[in-house]
Amino acid sequence: MKNSVLKRIISFYVEGFKNMTIGKTLWLIILVKLFIMFVILKIFFFPNYLGKFDEPAEKQEYILNEFIQRSNNL
């Protein structure tokens, strides 16, 4: 019973994707875009700035100093 429902859901999606026309182009664009975003931009251009600190306490310390120094440097 469960298998039958699962099969129907899978076949619903498979058939849907097979019968796409313009959708295939759109999916290609989506995949290229996601690749550019996550594999190129995120890794090479958008690292987590606070990721250089291992511990939350180090991040906290860094931010604390930033907030104090930026006010003092005015």
Cβ neighbours, 10 Å, residue 59: 16
Asked if 59 and 50 touch (Cβ cutoff 8 Å), the reply is yes
Name which position in 10, 36, 39, 58 contacts other proteins (CB under 8 A). Answer: 36
Asked if 41 and 29 touch (Cβ cutoff 8 Å), the reply is no
Name which position in 2, 3, 5, 49 contacts other proteins (CB under 8 A). Answer: 49
Site residues for other proteins per CB under 8 A: 12-13, 15-17, 19, 22-23, 25-27, 29-30, 33-34, 36-37, 41-42, 45-51, 59-60, 63-71, 73-74
